[in-house]
Amino acid sequence: MVGVVSLSKYNEFDKTATLGYWLGEAFWRRGVMGEAAEEILKFGFEELKLRRINVEAVVENIPSNNLIKKLGFTFEGTRIKYAKAKATGIANDVHMYGLLRERWLERNKN
């Protein structure tokens, strides 16, 4: 398996969802997740007519935070000791981001 990208926590009334992804280490830094994430954003905004997509990343995961910014998300804050890692049991600080439909449309108007 190469990886997974998804929209979860879909809220039809609010027209929001949360982007999530995982990529096998053998495929890191090849642009694979960027391409896959762009397609799921397109699906969310064009097919599901979402108003907003959320995403979060552990503060220390620099590549993930960089990808999120590259996708056009806006940094909205940090939640302290928010997400507990299954592997270590340690609660990590997490950066929160959001992408509004109008910003996505502006980025992709070509």
Question: To the nearest whole percent, how much of the chain has pLDDT over 90?
Answer: 81
Two structure tokens written together for 109: 């108007």
Please name every residue paired with 71 in a beta bridge, in sequence order, or none if there are none: none
Domain count, the chain: 1
CATH of the domain at 73: 3.40.630.30
- Both tokens of residue 46? 């064009």
- Compute the average pLDDT of residues 36-42: 96
pLDDT band at 1 (very low <50, low <70, confident <90, very high): confident
pLDDT score for 110: 66
The whole-number pLDDT of residue 92 equals 95
Range of the domain at 60: 3-107
Identify the CA nearest to 105 among candidates 51, 33, 40, 61: 51
pLDDT at 16 over 70: yes
